[in-house]
Amino acid sequence: MSDFNDLLAYKRSFDLAMQIFEITKAFPKEEMYSLTDQIRRSSRSTNICIVEAYRKRRYPANFVSKLSDSDMENSETKGWLKFALECKYLAEKDFNDLISLSDEVGKLLNHMMNNPEKYGAK
């Protein structure tokens, strides 16, 4: 593995962040500095923590710690998605699709945390 761009968790979390970005463009303007900002930041942070973890893979504990941060941000994103659904900013189908992708990211992160040696951690 030569780069973080090769990681499936990176690819899926990037897709999730970009889908959230597109969907949140339609959120009400009064949510710009609250729900819209929060959900965009947590979804992007899920992805960026994977990038950081990849650079820390020489140190297994640090690698797993950064992946744990990513998992935490992914869970936060799911919380914000639930608020968006309940506020009627998201269609149920969009919510379910995003949650499904978030679940996939979570499974990939857990695999990485449980098997750091497969990702170059020494």
**Owning domain of residue 22:** 4-116
Q: Write the pLDDT tens digit of every residue in 47-57.
A: 999 999 999 99
Q: How many structural domains are present in the chain?
A: 1
Q: Of 90, 96, 52, nearest to 70 (Cα)?
A: 52
Residue 122 in domain: no
Residue 81 in domain: yes
Residue 71 in domain: yes
Mean pLDDT in residue range 82-101:
98
Residue 15 in domain: yes
Residue 91 in domain: yes
Residue 98 in domain: yes
The pLDDT, as a whole number, for residue 121 is 67
Residue 87 in domain: yes
**Higher per-residue pLDDT: 96 or 121:** 96
Q: Write out the DSSP string of 6-72.
A: G-HHHHHHHHHHHHHHHHHTTS-GGGTTTHHHHHHHHHHHHHHHHHHHHHTTTSHHHHHHHHHHHHH
CATH code of the domain covering residue 50: 1.20.1440.60
| This model's pTM is above 0.85 | yes
